[in-house]
Amino acid sequence: MTRRITREQKEIKRSYGDLLFKIIIASTILVLLGIIFYTVIYPGTQTSALRNVRRWAHVNNLLDSINEYSVDNNGNPLPVIDEKLRMLGYAESGCDVLCGMAEETEKTMPECLNLATYLSGRYIRDIPYDPSKGDNQKTFYAVKRNAKGRVTVKACVAEKGENIYAMR
Contact 168, 150 (CB under 8 A): yes
Task: Give yes or no for residue 1 having a pLDDT over 60.
Answer: no
**pLDDT value at residue 20:** 80
Cβ neighbours of 43 (radius 10 Å):
10
- Reference 87, options 158, 143, 134; nearest CA is 143
**pLDDT value at residue 84:** 95
Q: 72-121, pLDDT tens digit by residue? A: 999 999 999 999 999 999 999 999 999 987 777 899 999 999 999 999 98
The conformation of residue 90, written as its DSSP 8-state character, comes to S
pTM: 0.75
**What are the structural domain ranges in the chain?**
1-41, 51-167
What average pLDDT does the chain have?
89
- In the chain, % of residues over pLDDT 70: 90
Contacts of 82 (CB under 8 A, 6+ apart): 144, 145
Binned at pLDDT 50, 70 and 90, residue 27 comes out as very high
DSSP labels, 116-163:
HHHHBTTTBSS----TTT--SS--SEEEEE-TTS-EEEEETT-STT--
For residues 88 and 137, give the distance between their C-alpha atoms in angstroms, rounded to a whole number.
8
